[in-house]
Chain A
Amino acid sequence: MIEVKDLVRTFKSGDRTIKPVNGVSFELEQGTLASIVGKSGSGKSTLLSLLGALDKPTSGDVVVNGVSLAGMPDGKLTEYRRRDIGFVFQQFNLVPNLSALDNVMLPMEFAGVRKATRAERARALLEQVQLDPDKHGRRINRLSGGEQQRVAIARALANEPKLILADEPTGNLDEQTGEHIIELLSSLSRDHNTTILVVTHDRTLANKTDRRFRLQQGRLAEEPVRGRAAEPAAV
């Protein structure tokens, strides 16, 4: 369960103050698949970075399972990112000189997972995101944008986080692969009780989530969705 309380993040740009996140509050039950939509530059990525403890809010708080991020020391925040969060970056942010497999193994290495387990699990994850097995050992800068995006998703899943924050996870994927990723995220929230918050412009994806929020002028408003519950059981 994640509670966001009156979150504000402002930026100074010359003598102007930009307020992409200006008093955002919401709650998400564990296992919810939710989406955030909004215009470009509306502050979606900014909000996600606050939830993922990549950035600190100007004011307000994020409470994860009863624990407040505000005032948490940096070491604890690092641990929170490592253990509880899986972040899929809009720009992928993979380590360019490492292989796909090594990139997926990195969070596990930081978490102290045994080497053999790491490789095994990393391969399984890369298969789940449908990356060709012969591309597992390939260096990131020799992979296509869509392939990199899937490696980034696999990396976010590496430590089985409770909360996945995904910034445009299907932005670079063809329709079919995108569908598969949506299905993967959907099954994670359904079967593993993982809370998933995706930022998306993808209508299909947004329509398949349990809840949908729109970020506008720094504020978040919930919109009604058909949701998974309304869909037929078999897709």
Chain B
Amino acid sequence: MSVLARSVGNAFRNKVRTAAVVAVLAVAIGLALAMLVANQAVGAKVQELNASVGTVLTVNPAGVQGFEGGGEPLTAEQAATAADVPNVTAVVGTKALRLRNATEAAAQTAAGTLAGPGGGQGGPGGQTTTTLTTSLTAAVDAGTLGARNQDSSGTTGTTGSTGTTGTTGTTQPARSLPITATGTGAVVDSTGKALVLTSGTGLGDYTAESTKALLGTTLAEKNNLKVGSTFTINSKTFTVAGMFDAGTTFGNNALYVTLPTAQTLAELPGELSTMIVTVDSMENVDTAKTALQNALGTDKADVTQGQRNLETAVTSLDSVKNISMVAFIAALGTAGLIILLIMVMLVRERRREIGVLKAIGAPNRTIGLQFVLEALVLVALGSVVGAVIASFASGGIASALVSSSTSTTAAPAGQRGGGFAGAADGFPGGQGGPFGGASQLLTSVTASVSPGILAAGIAAVFGVAIIGALVPALLTARIRPIEVLRGE
């Protein structure tokens, strides 16, 4: 019989009490583990969200955000100013163009759809895009939503004389969406991410004379174009230099030309639709954003952070993370306290027996160890049951925590997301945006119980239990052997 065997035996001396103690411990430990799992899951989500926000700032002309177009366009000088802001590593200017299939446009004009100058412009995004004609056919059918959006674009657009659009629009046959052409200063997309080229090369020389273009894969496919093929924009011939995959259907219904070319095509030299500003690190994004806004002037430009609406989500997730950490520590402390109280009770109850062990020569540390081990047996049983409880409960606990703390903030975040998505893409049909609402995002927090976290949590439980058991174990050292002569 060893100390350990004796401890295990002692742990089961009073089976009913052991069962009760294990049950109470299991609840505390289970709660602690569930909280830890929730904390980790939320923490991982926060990291993921933060990473997705990235280090890119978008600069639009002041006033174009939302559905109202307006304001002064951005200029090359402003790009230079932006480049001088501390921590800014790159500024890429873009000029957005809206391309319509020449034949289709002609048909529509004949039907009187394009009622007034600029009537079809503006769009829900409010971007000051310029509409040009092209030999290309869009790869995306408008669909019901797109058709409706394009019809209503006359009404929501700038100063177009409307009235006729709605009625004639309904008689139109199926039409395709416009193609977005972006003049860019570097091979990046509108969020500052490098374009993924599937074939061909980049744009090469960024001069006004360049006739090179990068086409989205679906757009190229629809028009049977390959690298080296040609097409026209406003009767100017362009060569397909490469093809890219933006990963989305809309993203691939687009093409890129050099910035000067785009400016020439739009007959607006030096004018930019958007600037994509890259900041050197995540930590500097906020300060750089403020600095950039000040440098450009609030009346001239709007600086926004990519997927800014996530901030609300991150903030509420952060508070969930903190709450779960506090709850974890509290539950852990409770488990420790339960052990402490139970062991103090057991030590008092077994005073005489401890006296016997001392009387026959047991060293204090042997007796102390015996009680710590007995406590650990109880904790081990509590941990097994607690881990089972946690693995069933943590998913529910995590989502309950998340939904209760974010239900109030989710709605405004969602609205803002919708508006921004429209502005960034300039696409009809942008309502809802890529992030329909923060709540949708948050429910995707999955609290999967990973063995690593469980192990860490159980290690913490054992650490606390040892501390809890140490106090009563040290109390045994004060019991004198003469206790054996005292009756109970």
Contacts and interface: CB of A to CB of B under 8 A. Distances in A.
Contact of A110 (B10, B352, B353, B363): B363
B200 interface: no
Chain A contact residues (Cβ within 8 angstroms of B): what range? 20 to 34
Contacts of A49: 482, 485
B10 A97 contact: yes
B485 A54 contact: yes
Contacts, number: 77
A216 B364 CA distance: 36
Interface string A104-139: 011101110001000000000000000000000000
Interface in A25-62: 45, 49, 52-55
A75 interface: yes
B484 A111 contact: no
A94 B484 CA distance: 10
B292 to A, nearest CB: 73
B1 A78 contact: no
A5 interface: no
Candidate in A53, A94, A110, A159 with the most chain B CB atoms within 10 angstroms: A110
A81 B3 CA distance: 19
A78 B366 CA distance: 12
Nearest to A85: B361
Interface of B: 1-3, 6, 9-10, 13, 352-353, 355-364, 366, 480-482, 484-485, 487
A111 B13 contact: no
Given A97-B13, A98-B1, A83 B361 contact: yes
A89 B481 CA distance: 12
Contact of B360 (A45, A79, A110, A115): A110
B6 A78 contact: no
Give the dominant DSSP class at B's interface.
helix
Nearest to B10: A97
Nearest to A86: B360
Given A93-B355, A95-B356, A98-B9, 6 more contacts: A49-B482, A55-B482, A82-B361, A82-B362, A95-B353, A159-B361
B108 to A, nearest CB: 95
A153 to B, nearest CB: 13
Contact of A111 (B3, B359, B361, B487): B361
13 contacts: A45-B485, A55-B485, A78-B363, A79-B361, A82-B360, A89-B359, A93-B355, A95-B356, A106-B1, A107-B361, A109-B2, A110-B362, A155-B360
Q: Which 10 pairs from chain A and chain B are nearest by CB? A: A82-B361, A55-B482, A54-B481, A81-B361, A102-B1, A93-B356, A107-B360, A110-B362, A93-B484, A110-B361
B481 to A, nearest CB: 4
Given A89-B484, A97-B10, A98-B1, A110 B366 contact: yes
Contacts of B362: 78, 82, 106, 110
Candidate in B357, B358, B481, B487 with the most chain A CB atoms within 10 angstroms: B481
Contacts of A79: 361
A106 B482 contact: no
